[in-house]
Structure 1
């Protein structure tokens, strides 16, 4: 891979607000002992999202059992599951008046079903307290376990999301414990077993992929039944993570969006600061309107 560019380009600069609304959301999340991927993964959109009273909740604790080479979430020995997490998450959803909630997690390979039961409990509790809130889940691969998948899917989230993250050629280097084909199989199973559910995936660029790599991965995702695709810039969380090979220009992101749309994706969100859950509620509203 190329050496990382020393200075981020202007289009990657994002204002981090610290106004009263931002602090109120942050305090609420902390008070309920919840984690957000916004903070754990150093998301560049934290100011915008918190400022608009939205957050992507990170369940199953804040420590991951895997060590993917792109991710800022802490790795190590995971903590015990919090039985109050589903209730607290639903309480935060109601308090913030969220119309759309994204629930993601660390990977918990130490648990029999990877924490699938906690996903289902969170979905059910949010739906009980906030029945009009649409629910998006962003899951790990559950090691391909169909039992785990069924536990989650049978709770009927509005959107099932599992990120492919990178292209087939780079997958072993970027996600050494994961498997490209297994991730595709997870998406395909969700799409075929629940055909009315919205299926979503996301990919990072700037890791050294070629246009041909992207075409192959876009085709694989579309064939797996993905209808919502997000494309965003990889940002190196620390010197210990994989370096950035390229800062992709906004114009190039527009080209990637057009390519994906031409390949049959009904909904594509593509841009330097795009993350899997960025403006997810707007995208889901558009999907449901059709």
Structure 2
């Protein structure tokens, strides 16, 4: 007899006023979210609760990590008008806390660091009192670029390790385990923003490696 799946394993269909409101405001302002780009199975639940993770610097990534569904290829030029559209959307959603991430932009001289810094400053200027969590790329571990983001003043700076050292070459495109460690270390040593990281399990790692 087929065993009934637990309720927590079921994915809700996208519906409800909050979900539709978020979908509409994001589409109207021509913004991107990792929720859609990454084909996240929790999209309906998060948007239904009025939350979303915005993705800046376009929707095309210069890397092609095996676990991620975001488009890979040659990105479009940086759209500086995105700053205003993002700040306006955050205001319309009446957010008190916002999570922002980005694609990797290895095609840019500063890997997108200046755009990141300007985004943080502009969002805070247009939305007084908001707190920001920024999920950043590694900027190839270059401390001066990471400090551009730190100095812009986000409350939390996150950079995900994604997996253990042994599996990094198999799972992550161009990323290096030690560079990711250095990125997190740079944030932690600044004593300005709270450092944060995340790791997936179930990719073949052992408990000892984790």
Structure 2 unaligned segments of length 5 or more: list them.
none
Shift of 1:20: 2.3
Shift of 1:9: 7.3
Structure 1 unaligned segments of length 5 or more: list them.
1-7, 215-290
Q: Which residue of 2 aligns with 1:156?
A: 153
Tell me the SS of whatever aligns to 1:109.
coil
In structure 2, do the counterparts of structure 1 residues 176 and 63 end up closer, same or farther at CA, with 3 Å as the change threshold? Answer: closer
Q: Which residue of 1 aligns with 2:185?
A: 188
Q: Which residue of 2 aligns with 1:171?
A: 168
Q: 2:199 aligns with which of 188, 203, 216?
A: 203
TM normalised by structure 1 equals 0.69
* Two-structure CA RMSD over aligned residues (Å): 1.4
Q: Which residue of 2 aligns with 1:97?
A: 94
Shift of 1:30: 1.0
Post-superposition Cα deviations, 1:158-196, rounded to whole Å, max 9, x if no partner, equal: 000000000111111101410000000000011102x14
Shift of 1:10: 5.9
Q: 1:68 aligns with which of 65, 70, 91?
A: 65
Q: Does 1:127 align with 2:124?
A: yes
For this pair of structures, how many residues does the alignment match?
206
